[in-house]
Amino acid sequence: MGHKVGNTEGNSGEIREPAIVVSDVHLGSESCNYKQFCDFLVWIRSLDGRKETIKCEGKELVITHPEKFILLGDILELWDPKDGDRDNVVKQSIRPFSLLSDLRCEKIYVIGNHDDAIHRYDEKIDYETLHNDTTLNVCNRHYPEEKTGIKNIKIGERSYFFIHGHQYDKGQKILATVSRLTGQRWNPLNWFQILFNIPFTKNNWIINSLVFLALVFGGWYFWAVALKPNFGYTLIWAALTGFFALSSIPGIITKTQRKFYDAKKPKDKTAEQIIEDEYYQEQKDTVVADVIVFGHTHFASSYVGKKKLFINSGCWVGEDSIIDDKQRYTNTFVYIDENGAYILKWSKGKIACIESFPVSKG
């Protein structure tokens, strides 16, 4: 095993063995490539004590077991799970997390926007020791975290910084601003999502919405015509109406929110588009690293600019497709060793090289 991060003298954490990065698995969502992701984890486990050599842009790449496995955000789909039901997230998480915990390496879970609901675990899970003496660390916004005093992770000659990437996204600005002003995470859709996942609401939201409407309109009739204004009845009517409003409206919103997200998300943008289309604000960037690895846009790609190399780790949802004349691959991951970084694709047990960023020698 290589060196452990925790070097308090320098500003870099350093590792000697590779790191593997995945993002945007969206476990529990409609289009998550759950089975392929599990197979991929089994393959990583099989690298223990074994090497796999592939061809990457004319050169040989020797893949070995990682020292760090970085989950770079949106691993869980807590905003828009299949059928709005968070039980689907639990169902699709048991196997991946059991495979993950078995891996003989350090696991870093960086929280994205779709799994922001678990941000409290940032403080609760800090280098938690698992059954095989490896550690799990949950990071709120990026890795490494500020509180460690470590600015970046050095692998070979390059320094790396890992961030989910919604920080570069205009569409996420309003949420971030309100959260900063109120001092608490603000996400109205998440609030409705949680209310929807109360079993009584989840199972009966349609009938509840009919009861709600009947109470609203029936209430007017009884109040004005049949009973005449009466404080006691009005109070009961108001309480019942409120209860059924809370038991139906979250269902209606949860079931229609996908349209809202689809219209708003900057999905499928390349690293270049995200960095150059004003998403990325240079003056606010205080990251000290040669390479920024991020996800969020579901487009495995790279960009050199702003004196940095940006690598997008892609996603594990949907199929390979052509977007704006560019080939977009899914089921991708970033492999980093002392010789450079690589965007690779997992495809039925075969590893394909999408792009490579070797450290220039000499």
Cis omega before residue 358 (within 30°)? Answer: no
User: Among 29-37, 69-77, 217-225, 260-268, which window interacts with Mn ion (CB under 5 A)?
Assistant: 69-77
User: Among 68-76, 193-201, 221-229, 278-286, which window interacts with Mn ion (CB under 5 A)?
Assistant: 68-76
142 binds Mn ion (CB under 5 A): no
Q: Binding string to Mn ion for residues 320 to 359, with x set by CB under 5 A, is what? A: ----------------------------------------
By C-beta, is 166 or 269 nearer to Mn ion? 166
Report, in Å, the least distance between residue 227 CB and Mn ion: 52
Q: Which two tokens stand for residue 130?
A: 């698992």
By C-beta, is 69 or 168 nearer to Mn ion? 168
Interface residue with Mn ion, options 19, 20, 47, 74 (CB under 5 A) = 74
Is residue 201 within 8 Å of 248, Cβ to Cβ? yes
Question: Residue 45 carries which side chain, given as an amino acid letter?
Answer: R
Q: Which two tokens stand for residue 295?
A: 């996800």
Taking CB positions, which residue lies at the least distance from Mn ion? 296
* Burial of residue 91 (number of CB atoms within 10 Å: 0-12, 13-18, 19+): middle
User: Using CA atoms, how far apart are residues 103 and 137, in angstroms rounded to an integer?
Assistant: 14
User: Using CA atoms, how far apart are residues 39 and 258, in angstroms rounded to an integer?
Assistant: 28
Calculate helix-pair angle for 231-246, 199-221, nearest 10 degrees: 140
Report, in Å, the least distance between residue 296 CB and Mn ion: 4
By C-beta, is 158 or 298 nearer to Mn ion? 298
Report, in Å, the least distance between residue 268 CB and Mn ion: 12
Report, in Å, the least distance between residue 353 CB and Mn ion: 25
Q: In this structure, how many other beta carbons lie within 10 angstroms of the beta carbon of residue 199?
A: 8
Longest dimension (CA), the chain: 91
Report, in Å, the least distance between residue 83 CB and Mn ion: 21
DSSP 9: S
Please give the residues from 96 up to 115 whose contact with Mn ion meets the rule CB under 5 A.
112-113
By C-beta, is 4 or 264 nearer to Mn ion? 264
User: Using CA atoms, how far apart are residues 61 and 52, in angstroms rounded to an integer?
Assistant: 8
By C-beta, is 45 or 82 nearer to Mn ion? 82
By C-beta, is 4 or 170 nearer to Mn ion? 170
DSSP 358: E
User: Using CA atoms, how far apart are residues 258 and 254, in angstroms rounded to an integer?
Assistant: 8
Report, in Å, the least distance between residue 112 CB and Mn ion: 4
Number of residues that bind Mn ion (CB under 5 A): 5
Q: Which two tokens stand for residue 112?
A: 């994205």
Please give the residues from 147 up to 206 whose contact with Mn ion meets the rule CB under 5 A.
166
H helix or E strand, kind and range, residue 261 = helix 249-264
* Burial of residue 131 (number of CB atoms within 10 Å: 0-12, 13-18, 19+): exposed
Report, in Å, the least distance between residue 167 CB and Mn ion: 10
Question: Residue 253 carries which side chain, given as an amino acid letter?
Answer: I
Interface residue with Mn ion, options 158, 267, 269, 296 (CB under 5 A) = 296
Report, in Å, the least distance between residue 165 CB and Mn ion: 7
H helix or E strand, kind and range, residue 357 = strand 350-358
Q: Binding string to Mn ion for residues 237 to 276, with x set by CB under 5 A, is what? A: ----------------------------------------
User: Using CA atoms, how far apart are residues 339 and 206, in angstroms rounded to an integer?
Assistant: 57
User: Among 5-13, 120-128, 295-303, 335-343, which window interacts with Mn ion (CB under 5 A)?
Assistant: 295-303
The residue ranges that bind Mn ion (CB under 5 A) are 74, 112-113, 166, 296
